[in-house]
Amino acid sequence: MSSAEHVSNALRKTASGIRGFDEITGGGVPSGRPTLICGGPGCGKTLFGIEFLIRGALEKGEPGVLMSFEERPEDLIDNTQALGFDLGDLVRRKLLVIDYVKVDRSEIQETGEYDLEGLFVRLNLAIDAIGAKRVLLDTIESLFAGLPNELLLRSELRRLFLWLKEKGVTAIVTGERGTGMLTRHGLEEYISDCVILLDHRVTAQVSTRRLRVVKYRGSTHGTNEYPFIIDTDGITVIPITSVGLVHHAPEERLSTGIPALDDMFGGAGFYRGSSVLLTGSAGTGKTTIAARFAEAACERGERALFFAFEESQDQLARNMASVGMALARHTKSGRLMSSCMRPTLVGLEAHLSGMMRQIDAVKPDVTVIDPISSLLTASAAPDVHAMLIRLIDHLKMQDITVVMTSLLNETSAPATEMGISSIVDTWIDVRDAAVGKDRRRELYVIKSRGMKHSRQVRELTLSDAGINLTDLAPLAGSSMRPVGKKRVT
């Protein structure tokens, strides 16, 4: 088969416009076919369908029809305004038709003559009125309320889905999740070409939403559970991993802002676009080293974004002033932007989505996350690990250098609970070492991919004159010994 024939035979897809969803489905929902969105109360089914219509109208110029069996048009308009969607404006511009079909169960009579002809006529008029390309039916259970005859129900469901296909519209049909089945009737999932399951769960008092593509005829798709969030920008689905290891590998090097630390990397510092992990126990200077890297970027005329989970912007500026940094000056100039938030304020997915949005809006050259270990208070280690992989991928795709700090227990070996040490490019460990009756800070580079680096342990000193590294004297009682000679290898 030629490549042209392969393309022509490929399943056509319609982009949903929902961030992240089109990536995991390889382009969106099947064009000209119905897609079933099922889930329990509050999981986001109706919003998913509405955003599908809105993105199509605004971004693709494809008018849509919203046929609701539960909510009145005025209620739908009011409910979605809080999310920044103006359905009323789309109606006035003839990009959307909202039709409320009231289904009274007491008026439904189960007879052999029961059918959906009236619905087809009503839906057909709405579609033709604006030349609609997209349709949302919300929800299917309300339409078939009071029909216990499974054979009749199955027959009418098939007729509905076949009618939508023959009409050539791309449709979203929502359905309530059943007990032990994807839907209440257990029939819709079998006659749908694409089935998406939404789930809203609470684990350890943290609310999370998940999306899974259960079925997609004629197409490959991601089969994992994908976290998603609902905020003022609508729905954002967060893929678990990057689509592929296609990151750039710039040769340019960036100064750490500390000459003695640059010397440990051959006098040049980190690669641009690399990921750097700073680990150590409390009070060893991790935040100070990371802040100096951000300040050095600002001094070069670059933009830096600092995510702080334990200190406010003013507190960070005050504390860093004690070691000779002027972060407030760079904040005032607009080169340094800070985002300060307690990790427990929102769920992990909301943190990731918010950070990605800020990164895309600010377009920084360097980013600092201080500390990533605090995210363990918001979720379990495997979830934090998955989040950080996605975040690092996002930064690498844009050649943004990131420095992350992580708090370690004083007695633990140099490792991280999130298990990301293997995926970062450079790993620096700072420890508080006992020297007789005194203590000192010691720093060494555990690894740095693609560059020569010193394996020598250095003493780290912090003072009002700034940050400095010096060779260790072989003192008794030190927890670490100097490795090699003074020369940086």
485 in a domain, yes or no?
no
Contact between residue 362 and residue 298 where contact means Cβ atoms under 8 Å apart: no
Of 17, 11, 105, 114, the C-alpha closest to 57 is 17
pLDDT at 230: 85
- Express each pLDDT in 259-278 by its tens digit: 999 999 988 899 999 999 99
- Express each pLDDT in 362-421 by its tens digit: 999 999 999 999 888 877 788 888 888 888 888 988 999 999 999 886 555 555 656 788
- Express each pLDDT in 133-180 by its tens digit: 999 999 887 777 656 666 777 777 888 888 999 999 999 999 887 665
- Express each pLDDT in 86-142 by its tens digit: 999 999 999 999 999 876 655 545 444 556 778 889 999 999 999 999 999 998 877
- Phi/psi class of residue 234: alpha, beta or left (left: φ > 0; alpha: ψ in -120 to 50)? left
Measured between alpha carbons, how far is 197 from 175 in angstroms, rounded to an integer? 10
- Express each pLDDT in 21-69 by its tens digit: 998 898 999 999 999 999 888 889 999 999 999 999 999 999 999 999 8
Contacts (Cβ under 8 Å, ≥6 apart) of 69: 100, 101, 102, 103, 137, 138, 139, 142, 143
Contact between residue 128 and residue 134 where contact means Cβ atoms under 8 Å apart: no
pLDDT at 244: 54
pLDDT at 154: 73
476 in a domain, yes or no?
no
Of 387, 16, 50, 390, the C-alpha closest to 221 is 16
Residues 265 and 190 in one domain: no
What number is the average pLDDT over the span 279-296? 94
487 in a domain, yes or no?
no
74 in a domain, yes or no?
yes
For the chain, give percent helix, strand, coil, nearest 5: 30, 25, 40
Greater pLDDT, 132 or 191: 132
What pTM was computed for the model?
Answer: 0.70
Provide the pLDDT confidence category of residue 251 given band limits of 50, 70 and 90. confident
pLDDT at position 224 over 50 = yes
pLDDT at position 335 over 50 = yes
pLDDT at 245: 57
Which residues span the domain enclosing 171?
A: 3-237
Euclidean distance between the first and the last CA atom of the chain, given in angstroms as a whole number: 56
Length of the chain: 489
Domain count, the chain: 2
246 in a domain, yes or no?
no
Residues 262 and 215 in one domain: no
Question: Among the three residues 193, 208, 237, which one is the final residue of a domain in this structure?
Answer: 237
Q: Is the previous residue joined to 25 through a cis bond, with omega within 30 degrees of 0?
A: no
Question: Between the CA of residue 28 and those of 61, 188, 357, what are the distances in Å?
Answer: 16, 20, 21
DSSP code at position 19? B
What number is the average pLDDT over the span 207-220? 85
Q: What is the DSSP string of 268-321?
A: S-EETT-EEEEEE-TTSSHHHHHHHHHHHHHHTT--EEEEESSS-HHHHHHHHH
Residues 214 and 332 in one domain: no
CATH number for 38? 3.40.50.300
244 in a domain, yes or no?
no
| Per-residue b or e along 476-489, where b marks 16 or more CB atoms closer than 10 Å to that residue's CB | eebeeebeeeeebe
Measured between alpha carbons, how far is 448 from 463 in angstroms, rounded to an integer? 27
> Could you tell me the two tokens for 138?
């919300």
Residues 183 and 126 in one domain: yes
What number is the average pLDDT over the span 234-246? 66
pLDDT at 486: 38
479 in a domain, yes or no?
no
- Express each pLDDT in 436-450 by its tens digit: 778 889 999 999 998
Query: For the chain, what is the mean pLDDT?
Result: 83
Residues 51 and 140 in one domain: yes
Residues 148 and 35 in one domain: yes
**What are the backbone dihedrals phi and psi of residue 280, each rounded to the nearest 5 degrees, phi first?**
165, 165
Contact between residue 272 and residue 329 where contact means Cβ atoms under 8 Å apart: no
Contact between residue 80 and residue 91 where contact means Cβ atoms under 8 Å apart: no
Contacts (Cβ under 8 Å, ≥6 apart) of 446: 414, 421, 427, 428, 429
pLDDT at 186: 54
Question: Among the three residues 174, 204, 237, which one is the final residue of a domain in this structure?
Answer: 237
Residues 95 and 123 in one domain: yes
What number is the average pLDDT over the span 191-214? 81
What number is the average pLDDT over the span 295-315? 95
Residues 417 and 456 in one domain: yes
pLDDT at position 313 over 90 = yes
CA torsion 130→134→138→139, rounded to 10°? 130
CB atoms within 10 A of CB 84: 11
Residues 209 and 299 in one domain: no
Residues 262 and 223 in one domain: no
Residues 289 and 317 in one domain: yes
Residues 362 and 466 in one domain: yes
245 in a domain, yes or no?
no
